Structure 1
Amino acid sequence: MPALQNPTLSNIHVYPIKSCHSVQLNESQVGNLGLVNDRRFMFIEEANGRFITQRKYASMALVRPLIDLTNKTLILTSYDDDQADLELPLYPDTTTMEQRTVKLWKDTLTAFDMGDEAGKWLETFLVNHRAHDVANNHNPDDPDPQEGHYSRPAHQQLNGVHSPFSDWSPVSFGFQASMDAVNQALIERGAINQDNTIGLDRFRNNISITGTLPWEEDTWLVVKIGEVTFYMIRPIGRCTVPGVDQDHGVKDKWGGPLAYLKETRSFVEKPNDGCFCVDVVPLTSGVIRVGDKVEVLERIPEGKEQKPLAK
């Protein structure tokens, strides 16, 4: 199935802290853990070691991490109040850090504690935004939409399994043509209007692609972008987070796109999921840049591709 034009990498985003705001890039190095500096940090509940996200605290979208590559620092900033910024090492010396056992969905992981100062900064932020989060509360016990996890066996000389703090795969693709199709359908249903369409950033994908037909990604298997070849695993089962405005940390009063996606984008493997964007893994390493051509190296054989279930 040919595309309308040449598919092109239109945007690159990394999320240094899981479930906080993104950093937009013009280029990025990609390795076995995905895009460099993507989801390398995560907030947890002190009492139980469980990760926390916008599912529980919509205000986390207002934490704006800044990356200073010159000084190799990660700077925590609060978008909408006067809380002082906090500077942390981007690549901390883990040999001097306390290890913690943390929970990410069904996984039990070993992570490194960034220290009391970082914990107090987050505690202050959440206290300052308590009223905001009460008004935009999400279910803290949302089920794992993937009912599983991505894992990558470590090199034989390394101990354990190594992965970023992503929900499943280390990289995700989003497609603008499919986003446009969703918005048009939501407009036709009266859920939204032309003035409040939703953007791909709601789905927190790393790589955005333009120049395809809507849902053409359902037929892709292996693609090359810049210097990197990616294997496309499957559509991503979504949770409630795409119902949060990522610029203001506000939950949609109309309920968000999840109900529509469950109706129109469920598949045999995950019949109760609403899917959007695609989980991918890098097969090679290298650099990708905005404007790179997206080459489809292999497609799913005709007749073998998954199709959404009829509702």
Structure 2
Amino acid sequence: MASLSAIHIFPVKSCHYVQVEECKVHHLGLENDRRFMLIDERTGRFISQRKYSSMILLRPVIDLDKETLSLTSDRQAPLVLPLHPDTSALQKRSAQLWKNTLTVFDLGDEAAAWLSEFFQLHRDHDIQNSHNPDDPVKDNDSLVKARLVYAEDPKKGVYQNPAHVKLPGVHSPFTDWSPISFGCEASLDAMNTDLVNQGISQGAKIPLIRFRNNISISGTTPWEEENWLVVKIGEVTFYVIRPIARCTVPGVDQDTGIKDSWGGPTPYLVKHRQFAEKPNEGRFCVDVVPLTSGTIHVGDKVQVLERIPTEYQQQPVKADQPNVPARR
């Protein structure tokens, strides 16, 4: 029987995760997930672990009783911020998240100074663990000047990031596309078996958190989630959109920020888990939109209410050769 095995939220996009036993789900995805993001002060474009692997060393800590979010690292004193800032006192900014231009709120100069110090202290780490072949961190790169921004509840009319054209009122926080992602342990096990047996991973197996999914599910068969359509977990019903195209981030340890010496799983996925409609993209986990609100708990039963009809199901096609890692 399929069940919810783990819940992870990522309070600050591209930074470390927080594991929880239960979580509210609503029109902006999981409570407190990716509501904060780092942007380049000069361009407004989001800053990502795709380039700066040190971001995983920035560990957000949430205190629900005090309603605070603390930014912590091993080389700095914590910076304590409100978990739900009073935006009336904050400056609005435009932020660029992929092709979307979003109206966000800036958390101020103190947070910006803390982040600039963080990147300066971890510069050597980023140079040594640069894993994006299109945009590597180099010795002569200028220092990162980051601002911390916040996504206000869309119901207040400022932040707007619709999750699906046919689901009005549901928005994505600072996620790449959909508000929520599922990952299934059986599919991970199947991939890890291949990575080891084919000599790709030098004997290593990677954990599911490498894919930064929100919801982990046990008790399925490998890859069946790619044909799910409607799923209920606890009090919440979800609509499954599509398998997720992977970049190079799964090749970085999500606790240390150190890249795999063997290159990570994305080239394997490009070869074995690409689909005809989007060739040269290796896919793993699935994008999901909530259809209802409620609370989910670790241990909840996962009920597949609808599957994609057989005649419309897509099967992965093997690539002729392992291409360069896909980009979203």
* 8 A contact 2:201–2:264 mirrored in 1: no
How far off is 1:138 after superposition? Answer: 3.3
- Residue equivalent to 2:104: 111
What's the TM-score once normalised by structure 2's chain length?
A: 0.86
- In the alignment, the residues of structure 2 paired with residue 140 and residue 207 of structure 1 have an alpha-carbon distance, to the nearest angstrom, of 29
- In the alignment, the residues of structure 2 paired with residue 183 and residue 116 of structure 1 have an alpha-carbon distance, to the nearest angstrom, of 44
- In the alignment, the residues of structure 1 paired with residue 284 and residue 231 of structure 2 have an alpha-carbon distance, to the nearest angstrom, of 18
- Residue equivalent to 2:2: 7
Residue 262 of structure 2, aligned match among 241, 246, 254? 254
- When the two chains are superposed, the root-mean-square deviation of aligned CA atoms in Å is 1.4
User: How high is the sequence identity, in percent, across the aligned residues?
Assistant: 62
How far off is 1:86 after superposition? Answer: 0.6
Report the residue type matching 1:248 in the other structure.
T
User: 1:37/1:141 Cα in 2 relative to 1: closer, same or farther (>3 Å)?
Assistant: farther
Report the residue type matching 1:168 in the other structure.
W
Report the residue type matching 2:49 in the other structure.
Q
Task: Answer yes or no: is 1:88 the counterpart of 2:87.
Answer: no
Q: Name the count of aligned residue pairs.
A: 291
Report the residue type matching 2:177 in the other structure.
W
- In the alignment, the residues of structure 2 paired with residue 71 and residue 219 of structure 1 have an alpha-carbon distance, to the nearest angstrom, of 42
How far off is 1:189 after superposition? Answer: 1.4
Residue 46 of structure 2, aligned match among 35, 51, 55? 51
- CA deviations on 1:252-290 (whole Å, 9 max, x unpaired) are 111110100000111122111000000000000000000
Report the residue type matching 1:40 in the other structure.
R
Deviates more, 1:185-194 or 1:299-308: 185-194
- CA deviations on 1:163-186 (whole Å, 9 max, x unpaired) are 300000000000000001111001
Report the residue type matching 1:172 in the other structure.
S
Residue 172 of structure 1, aligned match among 181, 201, 204? 181
For residues 77-226 of structure 1, the aligned pairs below 5 Å read 77-78=72-73, 81-139=74-132, 158=157, 161-162=160-161, 163-194=172-203, 196-226=204-234
- In the alignment, the residues of structure 2 paired with residue 141 and residue 85 of structure 1 have an alpha-carbon distance, to the nearest angstrom, of 33
Give the secondary-structure state (helix, strand or coil) at the position aligned to 2:178: coil
User: 1:270/1:242 Cα in 2 relative to 1: closer, same or farther (>3 Å)?
Assistant: same
Report the residue type matching 1:310 in the other structure.
K
Report the residue type matching 1:123 in the other structure.
S
* 8 A contact 1:21–1:61 mirrored in 2: yes
* 8 A contact 1:55–1:140 mirrored in 2: no
How far off is 1:137 after superposition? Answer: 1.2
Give the secondary-structure state (helix, strand or coil) at the position aligned to 1:134: helix
- In the alignment, the residues of structure 2 paired with residue 160 and residue 44 of structure 1 have an alpha-carbon distance, to the nearest angstrom, of 16
- In the alignment, the residues of structure 2 paired with residue 63 and residue 15 of structure 1 have an alpha-carbon distance, to the nearest angstrom, of 11
Task: Answer yes or no: is 1:61 the counterpart of 2:56.
Answer: yes
- In the alignment, the residues of structure 1 paired with residue 84 and residue 124 of structure 2 have an alpha-carbon distance, to the nearest angstrom, of 34
**Tell me, which stretches of 5 or more residues in structure 2 are unaligned?**
136-153, 162-171, 320-328
Residue 27 of structure 2, aligned match among 32, 38, 44? 32
- In the alignment, the residues of structure 2 paired with residue 269 and residue 288 of structure 1 have an alpha-carbon distance, to the nearest angstrom, of 33
- CA deviations on 1:78-137 (whole Å, 9 max, x unpaired) are 1xx331011000000001100111111111111100011111111111111000000011
Report the residue type matching 1:173 in the other structure.
F
Give the secondary-structure state (helix, strand or coil) at the position aligned to 1:123: helix
* 8 A contact 1:12–1:290 mirrored in 2: yes
- Residue equivalent to 2:294: 286
User: 1:39/1:140 Cα in 2 relative to 1: closer, same or farther (>3 Å)?
Assistant: farther
Residue 67 of structure 2, aligned match among 46, 67, 72? 72
How far off is 1:294 after superposition? Answer: 0.1
Moved runs in structure 1, 4+ residues, more than 6 A? none
Deviates more, 1:215-224 or 1:21-30: 215-224
- CA deviations on 1:5-49 (whole Å, 9 max, x unpaired) are x00000000000000010000000000110000000000111111
What's the TM-score once normalised by structure 1's chain length?
A: 0.91
Report the residue type matching 2:219 in the other structure.
G
Give the secondary-structure state (helix, strand or coil) at the position aligned to 2:303: strand
- Residue equivalent to 1:244: 252
- In the alignment, the residues of structure 1 paired with residue 103 and residue 244 of structure 2 have an alpha-carbon distance, to the nearest angstrom, of 25
Residue 266 of structure 1, aligned match among 271, 274, 280? 274
- In the alignment, the residues of structure 2 paired with residue 228 and residue 140 of structure 1 have an alpha-carbon distance, to the nearest angstrom, of 40
